[in-house]
Amino acid sequence: MDIWDFIFSLIPDKAETKFNKAFNHYSSNVASIIIFSDIRIKPLASSPKFYDWVLRKFGADAPITAQCFNDLLETRVSLDIQLQASNFEVPIRMNQRTFKAICDTFKIYCNVKNFFLPSHLETISRSASHEILGPLFEHYLADLIGIEVTYQLPMESIEDLDIMQTEESNDMEIIENVLNGDQTISQNDQISSAKRKLETKEIKEIKELWKEKLEDMHYNSIYNGSGITNPFRNCLRIFVEEKLPYAEEKSKRINNCLSKRRKYSTKKSESDEDSKQ
């Protein structure tokens, strides 16, 4: 039994809710580690194995699982920022095994479900890693708007095989129970096997939310793109200008407006200089 299973068993009522509340409180109070004057690493609130356990225990749709992904994403991006600055293969003050475990756990979450939200874009914009940008732009968003998916999942990881084997064994137990006349399926099995189905209206709202956020970030970054990495900027530009529905037509209109605005700014500057002379 995992230590977390033991702790969970000691909570009498509403254990999942209390676990979620405790994790939120703890993760929000984890201080960043300063590596350089302007670079910080956001440590995970717990060990990577805890995040693995949460996914197994509560399933992909549980609130605590989403919170775990948020924490994983912030840490994974902070490590990527440090690697960009140092040009090392492993972050400073971290051994290769720990770094690999964090990366693998992030991959596992990406393989299981789309946890990405429009609110994550600001964090992701500081990343240059294709292991972060690829699943978002070339898989989840592509699948959402119904275009070709060019980043294939699942991503390979050491822990992934263990999770897949566990899920397969759980499925076999359910089948055997049904064949034997046992109709009782545990709540955890129901959660892990159930797929969240969104209504057409919900999907449309999600698409519009992503579209609005992506376009806003893209066109604002033309004027103020500080802090955005070039790989992210490129992924964003391609997706907004080439892949979104009616993207090409809208991009031309906006680029024309931007061109006129630049010409106006140039003429105004020249006029101001002439008046000074």
Q: Residue 82 phi/psi, 5° resolution?
A: -65, -40
Q: What is the pLDDT of residue 191?
A: 39
Query: Which among 44, 3, 6 has a CA at the least distance from the CA of 26?
Result: 44
The Cα 63–Cα 66 span in angstroms is 5
The Cα 63–Cα 16 span in angstroms is 9
> DSSP assignment of 164-223, as one string?
HHHHHHHHHHHHHHHHTT-----HHHHHHH------HHHHHHHHHHHHHHHHHHHHHHTT
Within 8 A by CB and 6+ apart from 23, the residues are 45, 46, 64, 67, 68
- Written as tens digits, the pLDDT of the chain (277 aa) is 567 777 777 777 766 777 777 776 666 666 555 555 456 778 888 889 889 999 998 999 998 899 999 999 999 999 999 898 887 888 887 889 999 999 999 999 999 999 999 999 999 999 999 999 999 999 999 999 888 999 988 888 765 444 443 343 343 333 233 334 444 444 445 434 444 555 677 888 899 999 999 999 998 876 666 679 999 999 999 999 988 876 555 555 555 555 655 565 565 566 666 565 5
239 within 8 A of 137, measured Cβ to Cβ: yes
Is the full-model pTM beyond 0.75? no
**Residue type at 204?**
K
Q: Which residues of 211-241 are buried (b: 16+ CB within 10 A; e: fewer)?
A: bebbbebbbebeeebeebbebbbebbeebbb
The residues with which 34 forms a beta bridge, in sequence order, are: 40
Q: What is the pLDDT of residue 87?
A: 77
The residues with which 40 forms a beta bridge, in sequence order, are: 34
Is residue 75 helix, strand or coil? helix
Q: What is the pLDDT of residue 171?
A: 38
Q: What is the pLDDT of residue 47?
A: 87
Q: Residue 33 phi/psi, 5° resolution?
A: -100, 125
